[in-house]
């Protein structure tokens, strides 16, 4: 029999991975009725409620460090909310019950339910603001520096990968603020892969060979940055992030959340301080990483999930499940 309780009694965070896989699956299934219905709030509410209910049954003492709100904004999962039975491992939890809410409300591809879990105190408490990000897969670990230009990073990543710089593919969110980054890719004769939303998928793609992406770069949400950094830590890739507080108020919020130098470039080890972590995602709508939820005969719900666990193995799995 699977020695579930033994793993937990050793306070092993990773022993919770299968429980959280189920949390992500249930959140995706709960949001499914809202796909393409133009109602972001209902979709988010359904996913959130499913996550909360399932997380509360898990033998752990969990604290939300990245959620949907920064205060008690019920029904959203809020930062500081405590979940689980109170027994078992003490963990930090980052969630996005519906990542890509706009996409899913419009019935478009690439929305996901995502969760990152790590031992207590090891995830950056990122405020909901922009973060500059760069991500690469395992072969280019150590070859990135967000203090340098994208051109310099591309030259260094190409060298690490043993490729010509013109052979690189760089994923960038299709936004006006990224015009300068996109031009740098073109000037080197390399390829961009622009996407509308969900930069977590782009970051993960750098660590999965079949997805043919070498670098993810751009400015997106800081919470999504922590989720992506956890995935890459598990996959053996690399990630750097720099918060971009745009007002005095945002700067003050960083300080309040314990970030003493909000303008500092943070390494993956500073964003996710432990290998005792894991990342789970379940597709809501079809996407480049995962297929979405679908309803089969007799009401059976088919889901597709991705799970990566930190530590020595740095492995990942794709899981198809019928519920």
Q: Max CA-CA distance within the chain?
A: 57
**What DSSP designation does 209 have?**
G
**What DSSP designation does 174 have?**
-
Our CB check for ligand VTB shows the closer of 197 and 214 to be 197
Site map 173..212 versus ligand VTB, x via CB under 6 A: --x---------------------xxxx------------
Residue numbers 63-102 binding ligand VTB by CB under 6 A: 99-100
* 301-309/315-322 β-pairing: antiparallel
Cα(49)–Cα(158) distance, rounded to whole angstroms? Answer: 44
Our CB check for ligand VTB shows the closer of 152 and 174 to be 174
Of 132, 131, 129, 166, the C-alpha closest to 151 is 166
The count of residues interacting with ligand VTB (CB under 6 A) is 10
Hunting for tokens 């990543």 — which residue is that? 157
Our CB check for ligand VTB shows the closer of 19 and 224 to be 224
* Identified binder of ligand VTB from the candidate list 19, 92, 224, 238, rule CB under 6 A: 224
Does residue 154 touch ligand VTB according to CB under 6 A? no
* Identified binder of ligand VTB from the candidate list 221, 241, 287, 310, rule CB under 6 A: 221
Rounded to a whole number of angstroms, the minimum distance from the CB of residue 234 to ligand VTB is 19
Rounded to a whole number of angstroms, the minimum distance from the CB of residue 132 to ligand VTB is 11
Q: Is the separation of the CB atoms in 109 and 100 below 8 Å?
A: no
Rounded to a whole number of angstroms, the minimum distance from the CB of residue 189 to ligand VTB is 27
Rounded to a whole number of angstroms, the minimum distance from the CB of residue 27 to ligand VTB is 15
Does residue 220 touch ligand VTB according to CB under 6 A? yes
Q: Is the separation of the CB atoms in 67 and 78 below 8 Å?
A: yes
Where would I find the H helices in the chain?
4-9, 17-31, 40-55, 101-105, 150-161, 179-187, 199-205, 222-235, 248-256, 268-271
Residue numbers 9-38 binding ligand VTB by CB under 6 A: none
Q: Is the separation of the CB atoms in 278 and 308 below 8 Å?
A: yes
Does residue 46 touch ligand VTB according to CB under 6 A? no
Nearest 5°: phi and psi at 319?
-125, 125
Our CB check for ligand VTB shows the closer of 122 and 219 to be 219
- Strand segments, DSSP code E, in 50-179 are 61-66, 82-83, 90-99, 112-119, 130-136, 169-173
Our CB check for ligand VTB shows the closer of 97 and 310 to be 97
Our CB check for ligand VTB shows the closer of 119 and 285 to be 285
To the nearest 10 degrees (0 to 180), the angle between helices 17-31 and 40-55 is 150
Our CB check for ligand VTB shows the closer of 120 and 133 to be 133
Our CB check for ligand VTB shows the closer of 90 and 175 to be 175
Binding site for ligand VTB (CB under 6 A): 99-100, 175, 197-200, 220-221, 224
């Amino acid at each position: 029999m699977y020695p579930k309780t033994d793993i937990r009694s050793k306070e092993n965070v990773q022993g919770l991975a299968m429980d959280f896989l189920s949390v992500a699956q249930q959140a995706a299934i709960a949001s499914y009725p809202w796909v393409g219905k133009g109602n972001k709030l209902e979709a988010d509410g359904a996913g959130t409620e499913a996550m909360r209910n399932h997380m509360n049954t898990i033998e752990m003492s969990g604290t939300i460090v990245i959620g949907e709100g920064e205060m008690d904004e019920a029904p959203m999962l809020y930062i500081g909310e405590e979940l689980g039975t109170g027994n078992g491992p003490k963990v930090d939890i980052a969630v996005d019950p519906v990542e890509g809410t706009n996409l899913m409300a419009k019935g478009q591809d690439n929305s996901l339910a995502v969760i990152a879990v790590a031992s207590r105190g090891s995830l950056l408490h990122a405020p909901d603001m922009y973060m500059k990000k760069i991500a690469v897969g395992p072969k280019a670990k150590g070859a990135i520096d967000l203090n340098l230009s994208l051109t310099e990073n591309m030259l260094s990543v190409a060298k690490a990968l043993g490729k010509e710089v013109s052979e690189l593919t760089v994923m960038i969110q299709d936004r006006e603020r990224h015009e300068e980054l996109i031009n740098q890719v073109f000037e080197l004769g390399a390829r961009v892969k622009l996407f509308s939303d969900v930069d977590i998928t782009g970051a993960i793609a750098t660590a999965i060979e079949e997805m043919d992406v070498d670098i993810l770069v751009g400015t997106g949400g800081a919470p999504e940055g922590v989720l992506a950094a956890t995935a890459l830590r598990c996959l053996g890739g690399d990630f750097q992030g720099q918060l971009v507080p745009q007002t005095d108020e945002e700067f003050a919020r960083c300080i309040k959340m314990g970030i003493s130098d909000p303008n500092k470039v943070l390494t993956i080890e500073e964003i996710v301080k432990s290998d005792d972590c894991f990342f789970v995602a379940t597709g809501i709508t079809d996407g480049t990483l995962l297929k979405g939820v679908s309803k089969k005969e007799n009401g059976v719900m088919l889901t597709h999930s991705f799970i990566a666990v930190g530590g020595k193995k740095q492995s990942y799995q794709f899981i198809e499940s019928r519920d």
